[in-house]
Amino acid sequence: MQWEGNIRKMRSELGEVVNYTLPLYDILEPGDEVAMNELVGKSIQLNFDHAIHCVVTGKKIKKVFGEGMSYDAFMNSPEASPSIIRPELSRIHEGIALRDFEWEMKHHMTPHIVYLSKTAGAKVGVTRERQVPTRWIDQGAVEALAIARTPYRQAAGLIEVALKDHIADKTNWQRMLKGEVDEADLKLIRDGLISFVPDAQKQFLLTDSEIVRITYPVLAYPPKVKSLKLDKEPTIEGKLMGIKGQYLLFDDGRVINIRSHAGYRVKLEA
């Protein structure tokens, strides 16, 4: 079996085990879709064609910025706005757009969830409500708990900022990919953090949410991991032992982050 196209991040569907689909584009047009769960346990080969196309404009580029963007797109696209990384910077609820009014109204002037997740250790994060549970899966969380629901992005960001002094906001990706998970109780952590939420945002707190548990299609976790980049290793082959977050895990401990290779043109064989 063989597929070819420009990489986009894997789509996921929550079930007893997360189901993954890898979309491959013909530059900007949808093309092959690969049922990745069916490849777990099989030998696969990923070949980089030494071509990268900006996921926003389709322009051929030598270097990516953000997730598959050209420099111009990264500097101007609302998808790379500073408020993507730092939600507290969003001001669209005041009628002020950082880059694109219509885009920010659609994506930031919409309900957001502040959550705790357990990837390796517990962390806090923010996502649009309609990105639940996709965001949790993308980061490799095995458990997640919504702790606040806000009507717009900035309010969620302000809660996250207040809590970051007391809990991590980043994933330890190496531990996550080795299957190492702390024995943390997310509900107890939530209860301990509530007092740090600013008074103006306490109205958005959720106290009755249930923990979502997530299982990934992984046959075995590696004791050590080595991250691969197609720029340095254009041909990657080996037995696919699992998929977690946006990573493919091979039998020798090598891993590749599919999302960070958005726009790369590849051939995938199994």
Going by DSSP bridges, is the β-strand pair 254-257/226-228 parallel, antiparallel, or unpaired?
parallel
Instruction: Compute the CA torsion angle 130, 134, 140, 142 (nearest 10 deg).
Output: 70
CB-based contact 122:168 (threshold 8 Å): yes
Characterise 2 by phi-psi region: left (phi > 0), alpha (psi -120 to 50), beta (else): beta
**pLDDT-based confidence at residue 47 (cuts at 50, 70, 90):** very high
Q: Measured at the alpha carbon of residue 246, what is the angle toward residues 245 and 250, in degrees to the nearest 5?
A: 95
pLDDT digits (tens, 9 = 90+) for 48-93: 999 999 999 999 999 999 999 999 999 999 999 999 999 999 999 9
- How high does pLDDT run on average in the chain? 97
**pLDDT-based confidence at residue 228 (cuts at 50, 70, 90):** very high
How many Å apart are CA 186 and CA 175, to the nearest integer? 18
Q: Spell out where 70-222 has E strands.
A: 112-118, 122-128, 143-150, 212-213
Q: Which two tokens stand for residue 164?
A: 């970051």
pLDDT digits (tens, 9 = 90+) for 104-118: 999 999 999 999 999
Amino acid at 268: L
Domain chopping of the chain, boundaries: 2-71+217-269, 81-213
CB-based contact 152:108 (threshold 8 Å): yes
Q: CA distances (Å), 119 to each of 11, 136, 215, in order? A: 19, 9, 12
Q: Which two tokens stand for residue 68?
A: 């598959």
